[in-house]
Amino acid sequence: MAKPLPVSPLASPLPALGTVRGVRLGAVAAGIRYQGRTDLVVAEFDAGTTVGGVFTRSKCPGAPVDWSRTALKGGLARALVVNAGNANVFTGKAGIETCRATAESEASLAGCPATEVFLASTGVIGEVLPVERITAALPALHASLTENGWEAAARGIMTTDTFPKAAVRKTEIDGVAVTIQGIAKGSGMIAPDMATMLSFVATDAALPAPVVQAMLSSGTIHSFNAITVDSDTSTSDMVLLFATGKAGNQAVSSVDDPRLASFRTALNDLLLDLALMVVRDGEGATKQIRVRVTGAVSDQSARIVAKAIADSPLVKTAIAGEDANWGRVVMAVGKCGEPADRDLLAVAIGGVTIASEGTVVEGYDETPVVAHMKGQDIDIDVDLGLGDGQSTVWTCDLTHGYIDINGSYRS
């Protein structure tokens, strides 16, 4: 068994997790790739549970992504099966057969059609997933599921993650108390083109599938889809939101229903919380970086500029070295192809404006910026001075630890 990675210095503590009515979870060590740790997770949902999902836009997705994307068309979910250690990507017909066999095996245990079983896999690409280890482990795992299995599930989906990621929110719909609770995994190969590596969120709210889908799609834009660790989009990215309906709130038919205001705020907050945990567990990360771009010609343009800054190895290594090298930020702005004017933009780090109107601010004192760079949370603000467009992206620094982890990932 590989030596465990040291826990990220930015690790977020695991919150006190409760239950979500209508959800039972569990994890087991199936020996898929890892030895001596859990690597297979199952969640089962009460009948009538609705579901929404967002998936990688990679042109080379894994077989589980294809399976779950198809299952999503039905709008209902009774079970979720997740394995860690093997991504079931580039495995040809064997990967498709693994999905079919896994879904059918779980469906027989959950008492539902295979089309209501969702699948996700994470880990090494290009190795055939030993499906027999999954199907052999499912019966005992099914028998051990519990409403309190959330922490076990959070740990069971980890790969190079150094800490389990989970979040919970309590809110209401039209005066009826509801719970939202979710888990995520992700550390490297993070530049989501929809979501993140894997995240699974459940609520006991009663919501029709179209509303669940619309709220999740909207919520990922400024959370999972606004983070980057290394600019690489995974073949396996997936976020699913399940709504069991057990809270008993009156049904809503439209995502614009004002009764959903508090729920929407809580869901969006939870999604961002989980997404930032992924950044804080970025492989080798020692600092979290918030990049905010304003004054762009559009929000989309601001987003592209912010991503260029956040993805720049030169910016990320400067921050790892605690060097407030604002010239690298300007470089990233200029290279990305979006409208920018050297003599209009301004750059601030830690709330201190360093450069404006094409040059260093007169009388600039680096002392507070140097102090800011020594912290764990770094803020970079760029105002392009061209319009009202704005966007915020989160990333982490780039250290030698990233090379150490990824240079030995398959060994």
Binding site, residues?
159, 185, 196, 283, 406, 411
Binding-site annotation, residues for substrate: 159, 185, 196, 283, 406, 411
- What is the dihedral sign for C-alpha 64, 65, 70, 71? positive
Asked if the structure places residue 1 within a domain, the reply is no
Domain of 372: which CATH number? 3.10.20.340
Whole-number pLDDT of residue 187? 79
Contact 249, 206 (CB under 8 A): yes
Side by side, the strands of the sheet bearing 40-45 are 23-28, 40-45, 79-86, 117-124
Specify the pairing of strand 40-45 against strand 23-28: antiparallel
Clarify whether residues 200 and 137 are in a common domain.
Answer: yes
Give the global pTM.
0.94
Of 226, 251, 280, the position where a domain reaches its end is 280
What is the reported pLDDT for 411? 44
Asked whether residue 17 is assigned to any structural domain, the reply reads: no
**205 shares a domain with 61:** yes
- Considering the domain architecture, whether residues 162 and 180 belong to the same structural domain is answered as yes
- 10 occurs within a structural domain: no
Domain boundary among 246, 280, 314: 280
- pLDDT by 10-residue block (mean), the chain, 411 residues: 77 96 98 91 98 93 96 98 94 96 98 98 92 98 98 94 96 98 85 70 98 97 91 87 97 95 98 96 92 98 97 96 95 97 97 95 94 98 98 95 76 44
pLDDT at position 395, please?
96
> Does residue 295 sit in the same domain as residue 355?
yes
Report yes or no on 358 lying in a domain. yes
Statement to judge: residues 187 and 79 lie in one domain: yes
Q: What one-character-per-residue DSSP string does 306-335 give?
A: HHHHHH-HHHHHHHHTT---HHHHHHHHHH
Phi, psi of 383 (to 5 degrees): -110, 115
Whole-number pLDDT of residue 35: 85
Asked, for residue 312, whether it belongs to a domain, the answer is yes
- Look up the domain containing 204 and give its range: 23-280
Single out the catalytic residue among 160, 196, 228, 294: 196
The confidence score (pLDDT) of residue 231 equals 79
Q: Is 13 part of a structural domain of the chain?
A: no
Q: What is the pLDDT of residue 236?
A: 86
| pLDDT, position 192 | 60
pLDDT of residue 36: 86
Q: Which of 225, 245, 280 is the last residue of a domain?
A: 280
Mode of pairing for the β-strands spanning 79-86 and 117-124: parallel
175 φ/ψ sector (left φ>0, alpha ψ -120 to 50, else beta): left
Contact 203, 192 (CB under 8 A): no
* pLDDT score of 282: 85
Residues 60 and 147 in one domain: yes
The answer to whether residue 199 sits within a structural domain is yes
Residue 100 corresponds to which amino acid? R
* SS3 at position 273: helix
Q: Do residues 377 and 265 share a domain?
A: no
Could you tell me which residues come within 8 angstroms of residue 369 by beta carbon, excluding any fewer than 6 positions away?
A: 324, 349, 350, 352, 354
What is the H or E stretch that residue 212 is in? Answer: helix 209-221
Is residue 228 among the annotated active site residues? no
Same domain, 47 and 153: yes
**Do 243 and 374 have their domain in common?**
no
pLDDT, position 190: 62
Q: What is the tally of structural domains in the chain? A: 2
